[in-house]
Amino acid sequence: MQHNGFQLCEPTTSRSDSSKQLGGYVGFANLPNQVHRKSVKKGFEFTLMVVGESGLGKSTLVNSLFLTDLYNEREYPSAAERIEKTVKVSSTSVEIEEKGVRLRLTIVDTPGFGDAVNNQDSWASIVTFIDERFEEFLNDELRVNRTKTNDNRVHCCLYFIAPNGHGLKPLDIEFMKRLHKKVNIIPVIGKADTLTADEIKSFRRQILSQIAENDISIYQFATDSDDEEDAIREAQSLQASVPFAVVGSNTVLEIGGKKVRGRMYPWGIVEVENEDHCDFTKLRNLLIRTHMQDLKDNTNDVLYESYRAFKLTGMGGSLPGGDKTLAKFEEEKREHEQKMAKMEDDMRQVFQMKVAEKEQKLKLSEREMQQKHEDEVRRLEKQKKDLDEKKQQLENERKEFEAAKNTPKKDKKVSKIF
């Protein structure tokens, strides 16, 4: 382009190139650090459900996973108890801290599952418990005045399979069918030290085949193309180990001068944390070190969202914003207004009580001051009276002294001469 004999050139530097040339540090790279600090300060929550027949080492495994005594072993039910055995759902929470990171761990146990002679509908109380946790979280989200919501939803379910070597029982299949769309199910072969390595491989293939035949969805270790190769290999290794053949133990043994946790048998020692002996380490890494957040995200983004959409659709007709949903919001609003009015009335009553107490104290203080003033006046009047009496007494003494001084004395020496 020519202009008055000079050639003008168009700028060719892009915005990104100009920013590189300008250089400098803006600071938004610190956002991950801010999120990290906020998360550490807030703490984390994780709920683990343990389901399986009695005697499969559930409590021992959980205590081994978190290196703490979360709940004691329960006695194995007798034959008479197994006839009328009912499933109870109980939860135990504990605060765990490691390197400044706090974790509120909740273990949900299901004593009595699979122990009765007739196990029909034994999963009903467990399904109800999970739905109630979803319902509580949904109600907290729908409130007009939302405070800090505690995430009490069940994030993972360890389902223990008896090491019988004959595949899944009908109860196992029915349970996973009922719950696979409500919770992340991770199948676990309990007390795997009762099986040989070949038996475990055959048993694992049989279990996976039955799961696929019955269209049961268990937790999948998903990977992205952007993940590092180590993470992809680890996820593939974990997926190949499902169902995990585990052994739990809190007994510390010494082998060749090295202390390990394991079980001692006449034929040898089973080391709990040895991957050649069992999958305990893989399961621990999965639950705690690598996939805890993924389990929580899958619970929130997939399982809970499915439940939420179903509930809101049912509440509001055809869409999640129908008349029933609005009516619920209006009800929540009225409850909130009533609550605020009650709080205001209570505060007014408390204020009036405090004012009355203050006035009473002021009146009492005024009477005390008046009494003190009257006592002080009487004391001063008495003191003045005493001083006047002393003054009068001194005045009389002075007059007597002067009278005695003016009286003439007789000359005793002259009287003796005459």
Share of the chain above pLDDT 70, in %: 81
Report whether pLDDT(351) > 60: yes
Of 204, 214, 216, the C-alpha closest to 243 is 204
Report whether pLDDT(223) > 80: no
Contact 243, 283 (CB under 8 A): no
Q: What is the pLDDT of residue 225?
A: 60
Reading the block at residue 379, the tokens are 């004391």
CA dist list (Å): 89 to 127, 185, 285, 363: 10, 17, 26, 61
Q: What is the pLDDT of residue 6?
A: 42
How far is it, in rounded angstroms, from Cα 195 to Cα 185? Answer: 23
How far is it, in rounded angstroms, from Cα 51 to Cα 63? Answer: 15
Q: 36-321 maps to which CATH number? A: 3.40.50.300
pLDDT by residue (tens digit) across 308-340?
A: 888 877 654 444 444 555 676 777 778 888 888
Mean pLDDT of the chain: 80
Per-residue pLDDT band for 369 (boundaries 50, 70, 90) equals very high
Query: What residues contact residue 60 under an 8 Å CB cut-off, 6+ apart?
Result: 73, 248, 249, 250
172 vs 63, more confident: 172
Contact 242, 218 (CB under 8 A): yes
Contact 117, 78 (CB under 8 A): no
Look up the pTM and report it. 0.66
| Range 389-395 average pLDDT | 89
How far is it, in rounded angstroms, from Cα 42 to Cα 149? Answer: 12
Please give the full DSSP string across 146-210, using - where no structure is assigned: --PPP--S--EEEEEE---SS---HHHHHHHHHHTTTS-EEEEETTGGGS-HHHHHHHHHHHHHH
Would you list the domain boundaries of the chain? 36-321, 324-396
| Range 353-372 average pLDDT | 91
Q: Can the peptide bond before residue 243 be classed as cis, meaning omega within 30 degrees of 0?
A: yes
19 vs 105, more confident: 105
pLDDT by residue (tens digit) across 4-17?
A: 444 444 555 444 45
| Range 338-361 average pLDDT | 90
Report whether pLDDT(70) > 70: no
